[in-house]
């Protein structure tokens, strides 16, 4: 059937060749078969031409078959004057059969073409459905629908989205020219528009869900922040208010030593609030990208010794073991790494038992440097290994602390392109790992 789409001159040549071959076969049969059998040979050729050529070519093949049959097999031979009524009838039957076969072949061809077109359009709609399922925004939906309509129907169109819908319904197909008159084509456009509306509705629903999730997460973070701030500010504020009230109301009754103790408590709690506020602001700046590390080469042992020179008060009475190699040096921001170590030591001192032990170690590996701080305390509660690095989260709420120190360590690790984690091994073991240049020592020597 595909030969019906061949060029016209090729169809004419093929049909003439087929009828000529039929005439040759019929001529060889004429001496041995009846005329009715000879007619069947011509009819076979007519059927083949009708099935593989256009209607006009098929009609020409009918005329050529009748002419050859009349010339070669109807008396008087080599003339167009059939003398017997049965010959006239035979020719008439040939014409009728030829026209009927041509009509049936044309109808079958049209139905086959329509079926193929329906299958292609159904396949195009299925492909469009997959493309729309993967679409992440309205522009992707509009491009997919426009491409499908252009490839399948040859029409240029766009989809009314939320940005440019105007008076049109969301997802409506807007053609640049008149709509096709073919009902199947209009049905195809309606199907594409229906899929576009579903895709746009899905995107709108996902956008609403994401917005609701963002609002819920923002509300949760806001509540967490307010809860953490109120919890950590309440104690020092209570101390400050109580001390200043005593100083104001009982100034004459208090001796100088008591006044000095009250003033020291006010100063201590004010410094605590200042440190908490500074840590929270630094953490916010780090997470927003406003604070960037200043990298330089630093010996690891000097980083540790710098922190140990100003030991936190909580380390008093604890044994601190250091196993840190200073060679090769570490590529980092020394001030930020010192803050990490200071926070980890402060955290270890808070949870280590009286007379306990804290171990500081480091090691170099291919492309990384690790710093470990371990204590022999109770360790991290199961399930808290990740949450403990979030703001205002503490492993034990009964202990002192702001819940910001480990969150600050995680932010500093992220600024260095590294990670920080914790596991239990006879106590809590915190491990900071930061990336190192692949040719660090060579670069340092140059």
Mean pLDDT, the chain, integer: 79
Per-residue pLDDT tens digits for 76-90? 666 555 555 665 666
Question: Tokens in use for 183?
Answer: 């009902």
Percent of the chain with pLDDT over 70: 81
For the chain, count helices (H), then strands (E).
11, 9
- Give the pLDDT score at 87: 58
> Residue 226: which H helix or E strand, with range?
helix 183-249
CB 67 within 8 A of CB 81: no
Can you say how many angstroms the Cα of residue 426 is from the centroid of all Cα atoms in its chain? 43
Per-residue pLDDT tens digits for 239-298? 888 888 888 888 777 888 888 888 888 888 887 777 777 777 777 777 777 778 889 999
Task: Tell if the pTM clears 0.75, that is, is over it.
Answer: no
CB 111 within 8 A of CB 64: no
DSSP assignment of 164-217 equals T-TTSPTT-EEESSPPPS-HHHHHHHHHHHHHHHHHHHHHHHHHHHHHHHHHHH
Residue identified by tokens 């042992």 is: 301
CB 352 within 8 A of CB 375: yes
């Amino acid at each position: 059937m595909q030969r019906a789409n061949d060029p016209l001159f090729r169809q004419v040549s093929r049909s003439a060749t087929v009828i000529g071959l039929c005439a040759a076969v019929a001529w060889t049969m004429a001496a041995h078969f009846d005329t009715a059998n000879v007619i069947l040979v011509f009819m076979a050729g007519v059927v083949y031409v009708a099935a593989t050529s256009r209607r006009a070519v098929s009609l020409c093949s009918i005329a050529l078959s009748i002419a050859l049959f009349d010339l070669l097999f109807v008396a008087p031979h080599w003339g167009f004057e059939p003398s017997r009524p049965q010959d006239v009838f035979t020719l008439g039957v040939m014409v009728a059969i030829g026209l009927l076969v041509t009509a049936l072949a044309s109808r079958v061809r049209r139905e086959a073409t329509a079926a193929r077109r329906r299958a292609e359009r159904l396949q195009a709609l299925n492909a469009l459905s997959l493309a729309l399922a993967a679409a992440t925004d309205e522009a992707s939906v509009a491009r997919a629908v426009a491409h499908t309509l252009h490839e399948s129907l040859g029409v240029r169109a766009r989809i009314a989205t939320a940005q440019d819908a105007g008076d049109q319904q969301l997802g409506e197909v807007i053609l640049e020219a008149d709509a096709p008159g073919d009902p199947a084509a209009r049905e195809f456009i309606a199907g594409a528009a229906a899929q576009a509306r579903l895709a746009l509705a899905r995107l709108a629903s996902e956008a609403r869900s994401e917005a609701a999730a963002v609002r819920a997460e923002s509300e949760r973070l806001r509540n967490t922040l307010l809860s953490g701030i109120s919890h950590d500010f309440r104690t020092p504020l209570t101390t400050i208010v109580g001390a200043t009230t005593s100083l104001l109301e009982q100034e004459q009754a208090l001796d100088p030593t008591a006044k000095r103790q009250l003033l020291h408590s006010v100063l201590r709690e004010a410094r605590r609030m200042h440190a908490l506020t500074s840590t929270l602001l630094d953490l916010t700046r780090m997470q927003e990208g406003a604070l960037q590390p200043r990298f330089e080469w630093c010996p690891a042992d000097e980083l540790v010794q710098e922190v140990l020179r100003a030991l936190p008060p909580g380390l008093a009475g604890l044994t601190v073991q250091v196993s840190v190699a200073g060679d090769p040096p570490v590529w980092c921001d020394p001030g930020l790494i010192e803050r990490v170590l200071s926070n980890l030591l402060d955290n270890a001192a808070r949870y280590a038992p009286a007379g306990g032990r804290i171990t500081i170690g480091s090691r170099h590996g291919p492309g990384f440097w690790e710093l470990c701080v371990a204590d022999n305390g109770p360790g991290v509660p199961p399930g808290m290994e990740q949450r403990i690095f979030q703001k205002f989260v503490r492993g034990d709420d009964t202990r002192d602390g702001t819940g910001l120190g480990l969150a600050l360590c995680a932010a500093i690790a992220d600024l260095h392109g590294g990670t920080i984690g914790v596991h239990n091994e006879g106590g809590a073991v915190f491990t900071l790992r930061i990336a190192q240049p692949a040719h660090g020592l060579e670069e340092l020597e140059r």
